[in-house]
């Protein structure tokens, strides 16, 4: 089914100068003229990044985030439209479809402070970049899985829009779109939302994936992501569902109790490169995948368990490795049973030695059972 789509984009500023962008996909959406009347003072600057000499990783130091909003009561939600709670929120308008704004407590920002004094052996730099919040709906009680295909299609366009704009920033080396759902994951705001990070460096896992992809391409002349997808589709034992443009499968070496990758059939480096047909089908395939994930575990009452998850878009860095990178969505959960979590304890946290309690083929078989 094709999703007819037309989105109006409106850019405005919050009281402290941060950018807010409305993406309206409804025909009767009002013009976005509301003004943020809060007295916020100057926008918060990001801190700095420090280089870990032992691993080569970078670590952002953002002390101001210690005081960010944490699980506020319903009427103090900063992501609801202004007027629905007891105080003005981050969104000045009385309603919205999808909205994006710069995080008030950023890990990375266009304004950053590097006030570190350290020996020459230690590298550091200002945490220049971008940290954005993406609100998928104004409905506080909803979830991504409850959105309509039309709204999910809007969110896909929003992800592509932010990837393109942030990727053009000379301070941004990598754009990461993701959603955390569930308090078990560490969510501090229950309103359905995701985030977009514009990193000033290529993060460690992305760099590892890029190194493997570069090595594979040099040896075979092919894309590693494409070969993995072809192998999964040919084997079939870990495939969860498949459409004309997308296939979801449990990876051969899945780390998490529940983990699924969703990959396009065409070789594309990032969300920006998806065409209309691929974006349309993604809206429906992703919703079906989330429906099955929410039915994976059954609670004592016989109903499905809302799965806490991280949904992470792996895409090409902005200026390196784009010829060998291939887009893929990774959905992963720490839940290994109703009320039981997988903790990253000694082996995983100490040396990165992952142990999984469930065979990936069994996870895929369970998810296939939940087909409509």
Annotated catalytic residues are: 193
* Of 254, 241, 342, the residue nearest 293 (C-alpha): 241
Is the Cα torsion angle 161, 163, 166, 167 positive or negative in sign? negative
Cβ contacts of 121 within 8 Å, gap of 6 or more: 53
Alpha-carbon span 337 to 137, nearest angstrom: 29
Q: Return the H-helix or E-strand segment holding 130.
A: strand 130-135
Alpha-carbon span 2 to 5, nearest angstrom: 9
Alpha-carbon span 290 to 143, nearest angstrom: 10
CA distances from 48 to 45, 97, 127, 170, 355 (A): 10, 34, 4, 17, 34
Cβ contacts of 188 within 8 Å, gap of 6 or more: 68, 69, 70, 71
């Amino acid at each position: 089914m094709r999703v007819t789509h037309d989105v109006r984009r409106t850019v405005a500023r919050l009281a402290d100068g941060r950018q807010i962008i409305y993406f309206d996909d409804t025909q009767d959406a009002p013009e976005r003229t509301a003004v943020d009347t809060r007295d916020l003072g100057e926008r918060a600057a990001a801190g700095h990044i420090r280089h870990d000499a032992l691993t080569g990783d970078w670590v952002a130091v953002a002390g101001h985030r210690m005081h960010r909003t944490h699980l506020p009561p319903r009427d103090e939600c900063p992501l609801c439209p202004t007027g629905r709670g007891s105080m003005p929120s981050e969104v000045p308008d009385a309603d919205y479809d999808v909205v994006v704004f710069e995080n008030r407590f950023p890990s990375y920002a266009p304004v950053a402070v590097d006030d570190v004094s350290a020996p020459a052996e230690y590298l550091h730099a200002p945490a220049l970049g971008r940290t954005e919040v993406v609100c998928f709906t104004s409905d506080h009680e909803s979830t991504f899985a409850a959105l309509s295909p039309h709204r999910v299609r809007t969110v896909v366009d929003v992800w592509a829009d932010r990837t393109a704009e942030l990727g053009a920033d000379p301070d941004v080396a990598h754009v990461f779109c993701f959603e955390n759902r569930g308090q078990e994951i560490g969510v501090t705001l229950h309103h359905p939302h995701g985030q977009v990070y514009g990193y000033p460096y290529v993060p460690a896992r992305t760099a590892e994936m890029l190194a493997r992809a570069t090595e594979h391409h040099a040896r075979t002349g092919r894309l590693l992501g494409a070969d993995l997808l072809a192998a999964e589709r040919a084997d079939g034992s870990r495939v969860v569902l498949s459409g004309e443009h997308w296939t979801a499968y449990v990876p051969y070496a899945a780390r998490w109790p529940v983990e699924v990758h969703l990959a396009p059939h065409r070789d594309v480096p990032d969300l920006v490169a998806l065409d209309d047909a691929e974006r349309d089908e993604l809206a429906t395939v992703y919703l079906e995948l989330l429906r099955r994930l929410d039915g994976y575990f059954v609670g004592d009452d016989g109903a499905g368990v809302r799965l806490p998850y991280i949904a992470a878009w792996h895409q090409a860095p902005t200026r390196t490795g784009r010829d060998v990178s291939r887009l893929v969505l990774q959905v992963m959960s720490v839940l290994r049973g109703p009320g039981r979590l997988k903790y990253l304890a000694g082996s995983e946290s100490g040396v990165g030695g992952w142990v999984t309690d469930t065979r990936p083929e069994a996870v895929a078989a369970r998810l296939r059972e939940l087909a409509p």
